[in-house]
Chains A and B, each alone.
Chain A
Amino acid sequence: MNGSSPIQRIVSIARKEVLHILRDRQTLFMTLFFPIVELMMLGYAIDTNVRDILTVVYDQDGTQQSRVLVERFQNTKSFDIVRMVYSDDQLTEAIIRGTARVAIKIPANYSRDLEAGRPTTIQVLVDGTVSSVAGEAVNVSNALALRTSIEQGGQAVPAVEVRPVVLFNPDTRSPNFFIPGLLVVLCQMMAITLSANAIVREKEKGTLEQLFMTPVRAQELILGKMLPYFVLTFIEFCGIALLMTTVFQVPIHGSFGTLLIIAVPFVLTMLAWGLWVSTKVSTRDAAMQMAMGTVMPCIFLSGYVFPLDSMPRFFYWVAQVIPTTWLIDAARGVILRGAGWRELWQHCVILWAMTFAALLAGILKFKKQLN
């Protein structure tokens, strides 16, 4: 008769599993650590109160009173006036370029109208691509106008009227905001996991060992592997873009070709990133977990879900070094605002710089690991 009871067997198995978990410190670390990181990001970076919306002001009036008004906009904390501009062209350019989400134009006759008791109108241009920001901007400027009007003395007709114009995404549809970002995030996930798996699979099977004995050089191996995945990621990119325009009815206002060209360094960066992940782990499961772990910060911090403008300074700067941030911004620029090279060349330069850094890190780490 065997004396072992179910409980004993279960305990034995549980004990063995604990050993597995303890042996695999990396997985344990990631399992425990990443949810905490995500929690911190959700808790701190994500503030649904929209604040510090990047704003430019074109003050045609330039009087004491108009400056008071500008100050009031600033004091609401909703707006962060980053620049004064001096022409209508500069005003619209700031919005298309994405350096500002809101542009306030105070008419030349503002103070005169106010003194004369005539109603006056302030134009507020709002970038509608980020729907939550657009809504907040419109609401706060209306409230501000109302307050200013009341201070002017109760008249039947409000003294100061705000005329908000929502650009690019007039009905502030949320698919328009989310899908260009999703396009970028999905391709990022695909590129990272594909490239990480490609190397780890060979590690797991032992075929990598065999390859090192051949004349193949590390960089040849890497390039040979990246090439198909590069192509595959672009096919995916185009596929999602097609779904976006057809199923979700998000039209592309700019040139899709421009976007594709800007996406090249991004995809390369992600493939290099995957390569780096692959040097850190030895099984495909661990690679998957680690890839997802690195994708998470991108999702939360890149402006994909939560507007960058209202992030705390620290996370805002973190976002600037995440490649995803730049491509999402470029994608929204091209798709929603019709931006072109004039507005987006910086994105391209920054992404290429990141590509070189990532490739260098990935290849060096990979080569170092061979020895």
Chain B
Amino acid sequence: MAPRIPGEVAGQRITATLPPAPAMRDPSECIVDINEVTIKFGTFTAVDRVTLWLRRGEVFGLLGPNGSGKTTLIRALCGLLPFAGGTAQVLGRGVTEYAEQIRTQIGYMSQKFSLYEDLTAQENMDFYSGIYGLSAREARDRQGELVDRTGLKPYLNRRAGQLSGGWKQRLALTCAILHRPRLVFLDEPTAGIDPVARRDLWDLLFQLAAEDVTLLVTTHYMDEAERCARVGYIYLGRMLTVGTPDELKVLPQITPPGTRRLEILTHHETASMLERLRHRPGVLQATIFGQSIHALVEESRSLTDLGLDAHEVRPAEPTLEDVFVTLSRAAVQENGVL
């Protein structure tokens, strides 16, 4: 059976939200300002007319499936890739012309642990201090400050390769912000680390944001997306939507007119229940959350129509995951086959 595609029923064209009104774009507040940026690798369009701006001190979440263009966009903002179209300003300067100056003021922490595993934590910090041109004194002061903040002290003489995932990420973050960047790109900074370490890292990120550092974080974790002031969802190189998590959840195309979202509590047989529900006419989406099912159904269908009389059912808000899944499917629908 062919999967149901909500976009088909909803009949909604998914469009990116409009860029903010010019009045909001105070140049001193606008750390990243890109307009209609297109990046091509040969004939493949990796980033397609993306418009985005980041406010000073903002934590911005960039979401999207692997290969959707997140990393490409970051690399482009660092001036590492040529633009096939559009304009991009980072820290008030054109990326193409001022790539080198911009790179002195940005930090980058990549999805993989990308420090030198055969060097100690201290040696890694020293290396990046040197790369970013810190004087011996500046390096000592700043390293001391960050080591206190991250709690890295006991691990300074340990080889980076021997640190656990969480400590590696903290070290990587430390190395990325030694030079007091005003903008930090974090490409899946928390991939593969445990929840406690993840929370610790996010605490560090918010501390940075409080110091007016702007953060662009890519992630696959919805709880992390919820923490961001604003999120953007990029899919097949296109920025499908940008907004606060709450704004995205009430987008009309997520719960189109004539539909509603339900949470169905199922105490057992959740999986078979899901299977039955998915075959019911009028059910547009259904997915499991623990011992309950979240479903998008046509408003005209009663609980009896849906065979849910015997269950405890309550109205549900869409989650961010619902938002992204819905937007992705609609985009596939619009563009044809992936």
Contact = CB atoms under 8 A, between A and B. Distances in A.
Is A bound to B?
yes
8 contacts: A206-B113, A207-B116, A213-B106, A213-B185, A214-B128, A214-B132, A215-B133, A371-B80
Interface in B35-92: 75, 78, 80-82
A216 interface: yes
Contact of B80 (A205, A215, A370): A370
Interface residues on A, range: 10 to 19
Contacts of B110: 206, 209-210, 213
A371 B114 contact: no
Contacts of A207: 114-116
Contacts of A205: 114, 116-117
Interface residues of B, number: 22
Contacts of B104: 215
The 4 closest A-B pairs by CB, nearest first: A213-B108, A210-B114, A206-B112, A206-B114
Contacts of A211: 131
Contact of B100 (A206, A217, A371): A217
B159 interface: no
B163 to A, nearest CB: 15
A220 to B, nearest CB: 9
A215 B103 contact: yes
A44 interface: no
A248 interface: no
Given A215-B100, A371-B82, A210 B132 contact: no
Interface in A180-226: 205-207, 209-217
Given A205-B117, A206-B112, A213 B100 contact: no
Given A209-B110, A371-B80, A371-B81, A214 B103 contact: yes
Contact of A215 (B75, B81, B82, B132): B132
B125 to A, nearest CB: 14
Contacts of B100: 215, 217
B90 to A, nearest CB: 12
Interface in B93-147: 100, 103-104, 106, 108, 110, 112-117, 128, 131-133
Given A210-B108, A370-B80, A371-B81, A216 B114 contact: no
Most buried by A among B78, B82, B128, B131: B131
A233 B306 CA distance: 78
A211 B114 CA distance: 9
Nearest to A207: B114
Nearest to A370: B80
Contacts of A209: 110, 114
Nearest to B41: A371
A212 B80 contact: yes
B81 to A, nearest CB: 7
A144 B110 CA distance: 76
B117 A215 contact: no
Given A206-B110, A206-B114, A207-B116, A213 B132 contact: no
A216 B113 CA distance: 19
A317 to B, nearest CB: 38
A210 B160 CA distance: 15
A209 B185 CA distance: 13
Most buried by B among A210, A216, A370, A371: A210
A182 B113 CA distance: 42
A212 B131 CA distance: 11
A211 B127 CA distance: 11
Contacts of B116: 205, 207
A205 B161 CA distance: 11
Nearest to B74: A213
A17 B108 CA distance: 37
A209 B115 CA distance: 10
Nearest to B111: A206
A88 B305 CA distance: 116
A215 B131 contact: yes
B100 to A, nearest CB: 6
Nearest to B80: A212
A228 to B, nearest CB: 14
Most buried by B among A205, A209, A213: A213
Given A205-B116, A213-B185, A214-B103, 12 more contacts: A205-B114, A206-B113, A206-B114, A207-B116, A210-B115, A213-B75, A213-B78, A213-B108, A214-B128, A215-B133, A370-B80, A371-B80
B284 to A, nearest CB: 41
B25 to A, nearest CB: 26
A210 B185 CA distance: 11
A216 B78 contact: no
Contacts of A212: 78, 80
Interface string B220-263: 00000000000000000000000000000000000000000000
A206 B106 CA distance: 19
A210 B187 CA distance: 11
A341 to B, nearest CB: 40
A344 B22 CA distance: 70
B117 A213 contact: no
Contacts of A214: 103, 108, 128, 131-132
Contacts of B117: 205
